[in-house]
Amino acid sequence: MNLMFRNVSVSYRGKTVVGNASFSVEPGSVTAIVGRNGTGKTTLLRCLTGEKNDYAGEILLNGDNIKKLSHAERSVKLSYLPQELPLPQVTVRELVSFGRTPYTPFSGALSQTDREKVEWAIKTVGLEALAGASLDTLSGGQRKKAFFAMTLAQDTPLVVLDEPTAHLDAESRFAFLELLERLCQETGKTFLVVMHELPEVLQCARHIVALDNSSVCFCGTPEEFLTQRLPQRAFSVQIHGQKGRGYAVVPLRQVVMEE
């Protein structure tokens, strides 16, 4: 799934939220969007998913302008897991079944294929033992996994995630990052992910898009992100470590004090 943002700009009450953002997302890999709070990361996702249409520029999905796609067409091409999640009174399995809505008839009846996709998604996130549990009895991290399973059950070539590791404990966060890498390898899906934790980004992303002052200041690999000193320039931090063994973040002011 080829995705391209071309000169996308968004303004709100006369203030530029995103200015002339241009970048491409590599198919079959994880691309992370990073930046300080308020730099327009979630706004870009909202433009992509159709929540926000009053933007300038183009977003192209396999060469098609995303604005020209119907809701039905868009829902079989991309799925979206937002930051804020509702709490419907349903079981985990019922919630995950909602991901099959684009493929079901008006009655909502699931086919055998639909049911297989639902069970695969539940197993993939490790919630088989809780499939029959009510969503409101789960922890915040378990609910996040359930919603991610719903997103996977939608079975789209492009999966868009906004802060997917929020509310997960440390062990679950690393397990989630490993899962993303495995899904890319096994399914060929493309993941576009907004993330805040730079160590997690460096661990799982093949490409990074960095926003600073509401515009794109970097597009490239994690290695280029480090060698071009983006952590220092855009985030005022220094990063130590390496992929596979983990990374540590140190504020620049602490580095200066220690020197």
Yes or no: say if 200 and 163 are a contact pair by the CB < 8 Å rule: no
- Put simply, whether the predicted model's pTM sits higher than 0.75 gets the answer yes
The rounded distance, in Å, linking the Cα atoms of 124 and 259 is: 47
Residues 27 and 62 in one domain: yes
150 found inside a domain = yes
**pLDDT one-digit tens code per residue, 55-107:** 999 999 999 999 999 999 999 999 999 998 999 999 999 999 999 999 998 88
- Is 200 a residue whose pLDDT tops 60? yes
Residues 46 and 7 in one domain: yes
Residues 35 and 52 in one domain: yes
Residues 57 and 108 in one domain: no
Domain tally, the chain: 2
Q: Residues with Cβ < 8 Å from 36, sequence gap 6 or more? A: 211, 212, 234, 235
Domain finish residue from 115, 140, 155: 155
Average pLDDT of the segment spanning 225-246: 89
Assign residue 12 the CATH number of its domain. 3.40.50.300
4 found inside a domain = yes
pLDDT (0 to 100) of residue 248: 87
More reliable by pLDDT, 104 or 214: 104
Average pLDDT of the segment spanning 3-14: 94
What is the domain range of residue 201?
A: 1-77+156-230
Q: Residues with Cβ < 8 Å from 212, sequence gap 6 or more? A: 35, 36, 39, 233, 234
Residues 96 and 118 in one domain: yes
235 found inside a domain = no
Strand partners, 6: 58
pLDDT (0 to 100) of residue 14: 84
